[in-house]
Amino acid sequence: MERMLLPSLMCVSPRDLEDTLRLFEKNGIPALHVDVMDGHFVPNLQIGTAYCQALREMTSLPLDYHLMVEDPARMLEWFPIKEGDWVSVHAEADRHLARTLARIRELGAHPMVALNPATPLCMAEEVFSAVDGVLLMTVNPGFAGQTLVPSTIGKICRLRAMLDEEGFGDVRIETDGNVSEQNLLRMRNSGADMVVIGTSGFLGTRDLGEMEAGIQRFQSLVWPESDAPESAAGPLKERTERNARIRREKAEAEEKRRAAAASAPEEETEE
């Protein structure tokens, strides 16, 4: 499973956007993180539909939408969501989460559920089968430049273990907030494979030369020489096969349970 560095466009000045997009394309950035904020779910307004449409005209890179909005289902059709994009909606903001995730998949995108730092993992557990990833906020959402919430590192570990144990090891974990070089290593080692980069990372400068050097440095941390994609192919295949086996065994056990319940004699009641 390829680990992904996702630059947050809220940290890129509009004056620099065109040149910065070319730099991302040149250096193999796989997707662009787009923070959408409504001023209600979070105390900030960011990145609207016109901006996203302009991005479509400026680059072919997939978009990683993070909808920090109330009732996200009503906004899905407003954005130019395309096949191959990623779309995260918050469990805290959606009354009909499963329905919204299903609609995202119908649009051709990868559905993801997002959780704030203080939101327990159980809020996402019932939709593991409906998502391609879980986005864990490692700061409270709304603003760049915040400090990591320390408990979120353990939360990443617990989520990775939970996903693997329940047969969803192919579900990705994305982290968003204060991804410095040091924190990137902690997140990677805890099980994250998609990381959002902002001002704590290579977007802390407007100088394109410094930014490019930062991209390459972060890429070396995401894929250290001893952990390159080629060497990860074997373990990834094994984990995928194991997860498929776990899901199959659970489905067979549930089918047997239902069959046994259906064939059980009904108890006679005395009149």
The Cα 131–Cα 105 span in angstroms is 9
The Cα 127–Cα 77 span in angstroms is 22
Confirm whether 176 is a catalytic residue: yes
- Catalytic pick from 64, 85, 94, 176? 176
The Cα 64–Cα 81 span in angstroms is 10
The Cα 106–Cα 114 span in angstroms is 19
Quote helix, strand, coil % in the chain, to nearest 5: 50, 15, 35
Quick check: 139 and 116 in contact, CB under 8 A?
A: no
- Catalytic pick from 35, 38, 94, 193? 35
Q: Is 173 exposed, middle or buried (0-12, 13-18, 19+ CB in 10 A)?
A: buried
With the C-alpha atoms ordered 52, 19, 17, 184, is the resulting torsion angle positive or negative? positive
Among 33, 2, 3, 5, which residue's Cα sits nearest to residue 216?
5
Q: Is 132 exposed, middle or buried (0-12, 13-18, 19+ CB in 10 A)?
A: middle
Confirm whether 193 is a catalytic residue: no
Residues labelled as active-site residues: 35, 176
